[in-house]
Homo-oligomer: A and B are copies of this chain.
């Protein structure tokens, strides 16, 4: 089995992106699966194009994109991506779309094709904070997740895929007061758990992961 794991380039004034820093440190084999790693530009459109080229070349069984979620306290496994871009800040090529549809012929939203509850569970059993998230935002992270799930829907029906958001790492928050962070080492361990759960679970487990609002 082959698993593609991508991480974004730094954005928003940060000098690194903990997503790609963690991806680089993953083992090349997890739960018997080969891990293929790639860096993706934090740019609308170009990110999806780049992802599609790698998928076309590597033909992975599972693709999981990783992004930075500054301010979140835990590793969050995203449940759904929506067909909409609404940029609060410009991306790395200075694009700032407002309320634009990503793919005219796409669904309003796509659910992750991953055992998200099993992934959360596996991370928590390693004693690392994790949770399901019900929104990947409306910036390039949601954009890429939507693009991946659109590609699965339209072109690669046998591929599985989804998105994971990771917190800032400590060095990013030394000058930000009261901002959550997670050690890079714990992010790497958490992502490894999530990948293992994705490789080993065809069906998701039944366990609440909802939020009231």
Residues of A at under 8 Å CB distance from B?
A: 12, 67-73, 79-80, 82, 84-89, 96, 98-99, 107-111, 117, 124, 127-132, 134-139, 141, 165, 170-171, 173-174, 177-183, 185-186, 204, 206-213
Contact of A131 among B96, B177, B185 (CB under 8 A): B177
* Interface-centre pick from A209, A210, A212 (highest chain B CB count, 10 A): A212
Question: CA of A30 to CA of B127 in the docked complex: distance in angstroms?
Answer: 30
CB distance from A38 to the nearest CB of B (A): 20
Count of this chain's copies in the oligomeric assembly? 4
B residues less than 8 Å from A128 (CB atoms): 170, 174
B residues less than 8 Å from A174 (CB atoms): 124, 127-130
A213 close to B129 (CB less than 8 A) = no
Question: CA of A12 to CA of B138 in the docked complex: distance in angstroms?
Answer: 30
CB distance from A171 to the nearest CB of B (A): 4
